[in-house]
Amino acid sequence: MTQRIVVKIGSSSLTSDTGGLNPDKLRFFASELARLQQEGNQVLLVTSGAVAAGFTSLGYRTRPKVLHEKQAAAAVGQALLMQAYHEAFASHGVSVAQILLTRYDFSNRKRVQNAMMTIDELLQRGVVPIINENDTVSVDELKFGDNDTLSALVGNLVKSHKLIIITDMDGLYTDDPRKNANAQRIDRVDAISDELFSFAGGSGSAVGTGGMRSKVEAARISMRGGVPVFIGRVLEPGDLQLAVNGTGKGTYFDTALNNLPVKKQWVGFHSLPQGQIIVDQGAKAALINGGKSLLPAGITGAVGDFHPGDVVEVICTEGTLLGRGVVNYAAWQVQAAAGLSTDEVQKRVEVSRIEVIHRDEWVPLT
């Protein structure tokens, strides 16, 4: 069966000890990916490595840490990275294409649909799309930073059959194995609990960015989109195939077919929330366990300047994020209606429908 597979390769897997790009490692991954593609799969690559490929050309002795230095290094390095991939894939007779995306692109449905059509066309023509964050234009607060979240969003967007996150560790452990020799590998995950999140630490190397934390977060996004995930190592020829076939060196995150429809994926993971609504315990229970819509009675406040049709975050009074939804009220209407019964709202506030967020437009994120 033809599978659509998104493979993400982190900086830590592409660099030498000094932090620069290691061309042998890149050629190895290109041969693994080309083989996967030549077996009839549609393959997309999300790759880091632009900063690593570029920083020495700019005269930096080590990988830069400051944003504008990283952006300059990525601007030089992205071209070098693509050139290296172009040559490596060409030696296997495979063409590649460059796609650079930002967090902002995902928040705009038109832009994201266009990106998807381009990717579809490339895949139909046997080209491997090579995706990275557009570091030059990404501003701090809208940066993916690591490419893990980007790969999860791409995977959901293209309805990938699998997301393979390649890193320098053979999976998720109960603690960072660099710091704790007794850490145990977790082979399979069916649901991501708070405990699982607590196992995942930051990056253990000087070149990686997100560590396991951002990879588990990526797995959470993918699982909600119905895409199973592998996080682990690909070191020897054939390892990528093993990872895809279910016997790789790493951790598998399964998905219980709770495929979110595309609109809800956009609300939950791609949109940029315009504000927050704070709710009490009763509303929390109704939204999380009761499958109900959000009514004004359970609301205690609102933050931000949002309008009907915008996406907002819903937070409970202790400050925990409960989810996101499309709001039917403007911020001032939520403030005026907060805590009121349905009868009182109908008498006092002019609103087009009583649900502040309808359950069909609500995505729980706890």
Ligand X SMILES: Nc1ncnc2c1ncn2[C@@H]1O[C@H](COP(=O)(O)OP(=O)(O)O)[C@@H](O)[C@H]1O
Residue closer to ligand VHF (CB basis): 132 or 160 = 132
- Pick what 175 binds: ligand VHF, ligand X, none; C-beta below 5 to 8 Å, kind-dependent: ligand X
From the list ligand VHF, ligand X, none, partner contacted by residue 200 (C-beta under 5 to 8 A by kind): ligand X
Q: Which of 22, 42, 48, 160 binds ligand VHF (CB under 6 A)?
A: 48
**Out of ligand VHF, ligand X, none, which partner does residue 74 contact, by CB within 5 to 8 A per kind?**
ligand VHF
Residues 182-201 that bind ligand X (CB under 6 A): 199-201
For 203-235, b where at least 16 C-beta lie within 10 A, e where not — what string?
bbbebbbbbbbbbbbbbbbbbbbbbbbbbbbbe
Going across the sheet that includes 162-166, the strands are 96-101, 128-133, 42-47, 4-9, 162-166, 229-233, 249-253, 188-189
Scan residues 205-264 and list those touching ligand VHF (CB under 6 A): 208-210
Nearer to ligand VHF by Cβ, of 6 and 337: the residue is 6
Beta bridge partners of 259: none
Annotate each residue in 206-235 with x if it binds ligand X (CB under 6 A) or - if it does not, as one string.
--xxxxx-----------------------
Q: Which of 5, 7, 11, 131 binds ligand VHF (CB under 6 A)?
A: 11
Binding positions for ATP are 8, 167-168, 209-215
Binds ligand VHF by CB under 6 A, chosen from 32, 105, 135, 310: 135
Q: Is 89 in the site for ligand X (CB under 6 A)?
A: no
* Contacts for 248 with CB less than 8 Å, ≥ 6 apart: 164, 230, 232, 233, 234, 239, 240, 242
CB of 231 to ligand X, least distance (A): 9
Mark residues 160-199: x for contact with ligand VHF by CB under 6 A, - for none.
----------------------------------------
- Write a three-state SS string for the chain: CCCEEEEEECHHHHECCCCCECHHHHHHHHHHHHHHHHCCCEEEEEECCHHHHHCHHHCCCCCCCCHHHHHHHHHHHHHHHHHHHHHHHHCCCCCEEEEEECHHHHHCHHHHHHHHHHHHHHHHCCCEEEEEECCCCCCHHHCCCCCHHHHHHHHHHCCCCEEEEECCCCCCECCCCCCCCCCCECCEECCCCHHHHHHCCCCCCCCCCCHHHHHHHHHHHHHHCCCCEEEEECCCCCHHHHHHHCCCEEEEECCCCCCCCHHHHHHHHHCCCCEEEEECHHHHHHHHCCCCCECHHHEEEEEECCCCCCEEEEEECCCCEEEEEEECCCHHHHHHHCCCCHHHHHHHCCCCCCCCEEEEEEEECC
How many chain residues are in contact with ligand VHF, going by CB under 6 A?
18
CB nearer to ligand X: give 108 or 205: 205
Asked if 74 touches ligand VHF (CB under 6 A), the answer is yes
Nearer to ligand VHF by Cβ, of 210 and 325: the residue is 210
In the window 137-166, what residues touch ligand VHF (CB under 6 A)?
146-148
Residue 49 contact partner, candidates ligand X, ligand VHF, none, CB within 5 to 8 A by sort of partner: ligand VHF
Q: Does residue number 12 form part of the binding site for ligand X (CB under 6 A)?
A: yes
CB of 222 to ligand X, least distance (A): 15
Residue 204's binding partner, choosing from ligand X, ligand VHF, none, with beta-carbon cut-off 5 to 8 A by kind? Answer: ligand X
Instruction: Please enumerate, by residue number, every residue annotated as part of a binding site for substrate.
Output: 48, 135, 147
Give residues 301-360 in contact with ligand X (rule: CB under 6 A): none
Shortest distance in whole angstroms from residue 158 CB to ligand VHF: 19
> Which residues here bind ligand X, judged by CB under 6 A?
10-13, 146, 167-169, 172-173, 175-178, 199-201, 203-205, 208-212
